[in-house]
Amino acid sequence: MSGMDALNDWVDDAAHLTKPDEIVWLSGSDDEYQRLIAGMLDRGEITRLNERAYPNSYLYRSSPSDVARTEGDTYICAPRKEDVGPTNHWMDPTVAKEKVRPLFDGVMRGRTMYVIPYLMGPVGSSLARVGLEVTDSPYVAASMFIMTRVGQPALDHLKTTDDGFYPGLHSIANLDPKNRYILHFPEENLVWSINSGYGGNALLGKKCLSLRLASWAGRREGWLAEHMLILGLEDPSGNVTYMTGAFPSACGKTNLAMLVSPLAEQGWRVWTIGDDIAWMRIGEDGRLWAVNPEAGFFGVAPGTNEGTNPNAMAALSRNSLFTNVALTPDGLPWWEDINPDQKTPPPGTLDWQGRPWTRGNGEKPNVAAHPNSRFTAPARQCPSISERWNDPQGVPISAFIFGGRRARMAPLVYQAFNWQHGVFVGASMASEQTAAAEGKVGKVRRDPMAMLPFCGYNMGDYWAHWLDMGKKLTNPPAVFHVNWFRKGADGKFLWPGFGQNVRVLMWMYDRIHGRGKAQETAIGYTPTEDALHLDGLDISAETLRELLRVDNADWAKECAEMEPFFAQFGDHLPAAIAEELAGLRERVGAGAPVA
């Protein structure tokens, strides 16, 4: 059976189950997108924004019970629980289908089923994969137009390769949170998602296909699917060095991907290839080559402004969808810190639920935009987008950057000793919680490679796959760890961050090209005090020493906190990771682990 025949049969089966009144196949044309928009406007499902300020842009308000990814409702449905591991929710595939199939039975009566063939990855790339989502949400369909390559590119790829396709069945149903399921069947490359319209749960090409299912496929086929940005650092001679970076939430990932360099006049610029996901294969030259599988940005709005990320502000200024932001009387989107000088929205603003915004009781105003409100914008509109962001070959990766938010533990930057140690650095990655909504402020949460919610299989096996990939690389990327968030005794950040982070990238560049100064510490190589490019930056020698300080006593305590996290993986923990932890214990003088 051809790929097209299999695709058509799958759609027929989905329609037989869900029983829509109408089936609409989407080809990816602009006219089609505008028809989706017009229909939602007519039904009052979206609001047109100020056309002069934000042309072809709209506001969507979701159900208050459906505003974020719901990890508790997200399952990997593999035959064996141990293949899924302790950090994922598991459900037996047969049980999962018996439980959730009745929820899909007739769920689209009175509705339209949108059939969305889409391509993840640049057209012509050997890593590109075809997805097929059927959904009864026109908002999801419109969002897929921005985030993926809808229509003909996918069908052409399906006709010319043997890759097959990744089917996804989605319905908003009645948005019942008690019957919300996001089910992944990795042995079938299949996703079922019901009772959520939120992007991470409903745009099935994003976290579901591009990370959870793709990570499983990557291990099977010998490549990596990672929750990583991809950037290019251009030097004064015009050469570009490409790096990827993995960061937990609230650690500046998107800002780094779209960094505006204050040293651009000196020839140091940053180019954006992707802000969220990287697919990487080993090239004939023994290097890792990466593509960004997405076509758009699905970014958090609060905190995004001209100071923190001017490139994102330019990207979202047209042809964009906004979700759960506030709306001013002038028809403008508004969120907290869109203008740092304007702490509250203008009078007459509607909050994210469409209610008149009020200051509330006490000193702290009620938020106008939901803390997880989003913008969905085409990547092509980003001023820093690289000319190679759609290159089917991808870009060669010279560095991995891992990072977290630590007030005192990690120095500003350090380099791993080698690939195996670098995998351990990524595996032991941790970040401190930043708000009550995420947990206790200051509590350390382990998030290996920023993949904790997204790795589709046992994370011990995932680290083993990383180690195996390293053995096949003749020219592996250097591995670094950064911490923009170290604080002094006064509780203030020691490093200015944002655009100034290019200076840390420049030290990485120096190390990659064999000329950066470094000193060996117990945790890796840190810059010497004269190695960073600090000209024009007002940082005292004392502050610099504190930024780069490695306290062995602190790291001995860190080892003790790592041990139970790694222990939960049992026999799936690679011996190399255990060896690296033992080596770190010895170097920091932690002594033998507690039995």
* 156 and 255 fall within a common domain: no
* 109 and 92 fall within a common domain: yes
**Predicted pLDDT of residue 163:** 85
Domain presence at residue 567: no
* 502 and 548 fall within a common domain: yes
Domain presence at residue 586: no
What is the C-alpha to C-alpha distance for residues 353 and 370, in angstroms, rounded to an integer? 9
Answer yes or no: is pLDDT of 436 > 60: no
Strand pairing report for 165-171 and 190-194: parallel
In 216-362, the DSSP E strands lie at 224-226, 229-234, 240-246, 269-274, 278-282, 288-291, 296-300, 321-323, 326-327, 333-334
Domain presence at residue 258: yes
What is the C-alpha to C-alpha distance for residues 174 and 179, in angstroms, rounded to an integer? 9
Domain presence at residue 377: no
Going by C-beta distance under 8 Å and a sequence separation of 6 or more, which residues neighbour residue 542? none
**Predicted pLDDT of residue 95:** 98
What is the C-alpha to C-alpha distance for residues 241 and 270, in angstroms, rounded to an integer? 10
* 33 and 138 fall within a common domain: yes
Question: Which candidate, 281, 211, 222, 287, places its Cα nearest to that of 246?
Answer: 211
* 416 and 432 fall within a common domain: yes
* 124 and 255 fall within a common domain: no
* 538 and 446 fall within a common domain: yes
Domain presence at residue 81: yes
* 237 and 149 fall within a common domain: no
Task: Tell me if 115 sits within 8 A of 191, measured CB to CB.
Answer: no
Question: Which of 222, 254, 272 is the C-terminal boundary of a domain?
Answer: 222
What letter would DSSP give residue 381? Answer: G
Answer yes or no: is pLDDT of 550 > 50: yes
Mean pLDDT of the chain: 95
What is the C-alpha to C-alpha distance for residues 358 and 349, in angstroms, rounded to an integer? 9
* 456 and 494 fall within a common domain: yes
Active-site residue numbers?
251
Task: Tell me if 81 sits within 8 A of 90, measured CB to CB.
Answer: yes
CATH of the domain at 206: 3.40.449.10
Question: Which of 222, 247, 267 is the C-terminal boundary of a domain?
Answer: 222
**Predicted pLDDT of residue 440:** 62
Domain presence at residue 408: yes
Question: Which candidate, 462, 153, 461, 433, places its Cα nearest to that of 293?
Answer: 153
Beta bridge partners of 171: 194
Average pLDDT (13-34) is 98
**Predicted pLDDT of residue 364:** 59
Interval 42-97: pLDDT, tens = 999 999 999 999 999 999 999 999 999 899 999 999 999 999 999 999 999 999 99
The DSSP line for 169-238 is: EEE-TT--GGG-EEEEETTTTEEEEES--SHHHH-TIIIIIIIIIHHHHHHHHT-EEES-EEEEEE-TTS
What is the C-alpha to C-alpha distance for residues 136 and 408, in angstroms, rounded to an integer? 48
**Predicted pLDDT of residue 366:** 86
Interval 474-528: pLDDT, tens = 999 999 999 999 999 999 999 999 999 999 999 999 999 999 999 999 999 999 9
* 273 and 405 fall within a common domain: yes
- Phi/psi at 205 (5° precision): -75, -15
Domain presence at residue 196: yes
Question: Which candidate, 582, 578, 560, places its Cα nearest to that of 464?
Answer: 578
**Predicted pLDDT of residue 595:** 42
Q: What is the pTM of this model?
A: 0.96
Question: For residue 34, what are the domain limits?
Answer: 3-45+72-222
Domain presence at residue 307: no
CATH of the domain at 248: 3.90.228.20
Question: Which of 175, 193, 222 is the C-terminal boundary of a domain?
Answer: 222
Interval 152-188: pLDDT, tens = 999 999 999 888 999 999 999 999 999 999 999 999 9
* 123 and 187 fall within a common domain: yes
Distances (CA, A) of 563 to 370, 405, 428, 578: 37, 20, 10, 9
∠ CA 526-585-578, nearest 5°, is 105
* 213 and 231 fall within a common domain: no
The number of distinct structural domains making up the chain is: 2
